[in-house]
Amino acid sequence: MILKRLSAQLLHAMWRDEDPKPDWKRRKQAYLDRLPNEPPATRLISASDKLYNAKAILEDFRCVKHELWKRCLDGWRREPRWRGDGKELFYLSSDGKMMAVPVTTGANFDASSPVALFQATPREPVSNRDLFVYDVSRDGQRFLILTQVKKAETTPMAILNWPAKLNK
């Protein structure tokens, strides 16, 4: 009987399926809006899930340090950097675009939709300590991006009997 009740509470606590699926921000807000009115068992399951997630992230950070952030952002949002005043977050998208997300802080944190600024061609990191391949000025208007420079393709040249040619 307890297992049956727990199963029902777990199903109740999970995301509700919608097709098409709303964006993450709307889903998260709907979840937070309905959470205070959920039964105590559902709130307990939700809190336990969030606590487990936080403990797992902390344990991973203790093991792999800053490599964790690369793993979390792999191929999606790379190398997040804040503008000096904290009103904008920059990152590299998986297709190499420099993106900007305007944010407001204070009593509430709100992030607007990301905006593509320009196509970048950053070089790949060369080690696990190579966390950033770009930086942004405090005002968010200028970027310095480490870029791989391709060597010009040249055909090797061999000069045979070169000492004899010097005497001519």
Asked if 53 and 106 sit in the same domain, the reply is no
3-class DSSP state for residue 149? coil
**Final residue belonging to a domain, choices 22, 42, 64:** 64
Asked if 96 and 30 sit in the same domain, the reply is no
- Note whether residue 44 is domain-resident: yes
pLDDT digits (tens, 9 = 90+) for 131-165: 678 889 999 999 998 887 776 666 777 778 878 87
Q: End-to-end distance of the chain based on CA atoms, in angstroms?
A: 103
**Final residue belonging to a domain, choices 64, 92, 117:** 64
- Note whether residue 167 is domain-resident: no
Asked if 145 and 81 sit in the same domain, the reply is yes
Residue 16 reports pLDDT greater than 70: no
0.75 exceeded by pTM: no
pLDDT digits (tens, 9 = 90+) for 76-121: 457 788 888 888 989 888 788 899 988 887 777 788 888 999 998 8
Task: Tell me the DSSP string of 88-122.
Answer: EEEEEETTSEEEEEEEE-SSS-EE---EEEEE--B
- Note whether residue 28 is domain-resident: yes
- Note whether residue 155 is domain-resident: no
**Structural domain boundaries enclosing 23:** 1-64
Asked if 99 and 56 sit in the same domain, the reply is no
**Final residue belonging to a domain, choices 64, 85, 118:** 64
- Note whether residue 160 is domain-resident: no
Structural domains in the chain (count): 2
Q: Is the peptide bond before 20 cis (omega within 30 degrees of 0)?
A: yes
- Note whether residue 15 is domain-resident: yes
Of 64 and 111, the structure prediction assigns the larger pLDDT to 111
**CB contact at 8 A, 97 and 116:** yes
Question: For residue 75, what pLDDT band results from cuts at 50, 70 and 90?
Answer: very low
- Note whether residue 166 is domain-resident: no
> Which residues, in sequence order, are bridge partners of residue 134?
145
How much of the chain, in percent, has pLDDT values that exceed 90? 8
Asked if 23 and 80 sit in the same domain, the reply is no
Q: What is the pLDDT of residue 72?
A: 56
Asked if 135 and 101 sit in the same domain, the reply is yes
- Note whether residue 122 is domain-resident: yes
List the structure tokens of 80.
């997040």
Asked if 57 and 89 sit in the same domain, the reply is no
